[in-house]
Amino acid sequence: MFTGFPVTALDFYEDLESDNSKSFWAAHKPVYDESVRAPMIALLDELEPEFGPGKVFRPHRDVRFSKDKAPYKTHQGGFVETTPGAGFYVQVDARGLFVAGGHYAHSPDRLARYRAAVDAELRGSQLVSVVAGLEAAGFDIGGEQLKTAPRGFGTDHPRIELLRHKSLTAGRLFTSPDWIDSPRTLTEVRDAWVAMRPLVDWFSDVLG
């Protein structure tokens, strides 16, 4: 049963940011296993009946093509995929708890389908309404964007801001909440994911 993330989870990542080395990891791996990984698994297990099975991301970074050779991620993420590249996300790190939802990765085919849906009056208007509702509820809208209009669309398109997105997410950061080590964390994540469900469902309907 999920009872929260111990405060030692935040401390662990604060220390890891200062010493991202294999020796630090080896010395503190029991802290990671007990205070980070195990609670994340328990959290996703609790949410599975309502949102679907979740995945706990591996802690090691892929440094093959990166100039930054730090071996470990300074956060722990969990993801529930509803359609390829889209779903619900939760993360714990030194800052606290981050929750998000939306579409994270577009293939060329899916990006074309996304833009066609935004261009269509019915689907496009639905997405405008969903995004506006999330912004009004205090969520931050993010995602990779083009600086200009995508090819084939004019800058005067009524939904040009959405068309510029290559990925589209909504998220909220809870900075060092005093409830992170309690079962309330489950409630906060669930409530945020419920609020973001219209965005995730829109992508699942369009791209699924």
Domains along the chain?
A: 7-207 (3.30.930.20)
Q: Compute the distance between CA of residue 115 and CA of residue 163 in angstroms, rounded to an integer.
A: 6
How far the first Cα of the chain sits from its last, in Å, is 32
**pLDDT confidence tier of residue 97, bands split at 50, 70 and 90:** very high
Q: What pLDDT sits at residue 63?
A: 79
The whole-number average pLDDT for the span 27-47 is 98
Residue of 189 and 105 predicted with greater confidence: 189
Q: Compute the distance between CA of residue 193 and CA of residue 187 in angstroms, rounded to an integer.
A: 10
Q: What pLDDT sits at residue 107?
A: 86
The whole-number average pLDDT for the span 113-125 is 96
Which of these, 196, 208, 207, lies nearest to 117 by C-alpha position? 207
59 and 93 in contact (C-beta within 8 Å)?
no
Q: What global pTM score does this model have?
A: 0.95
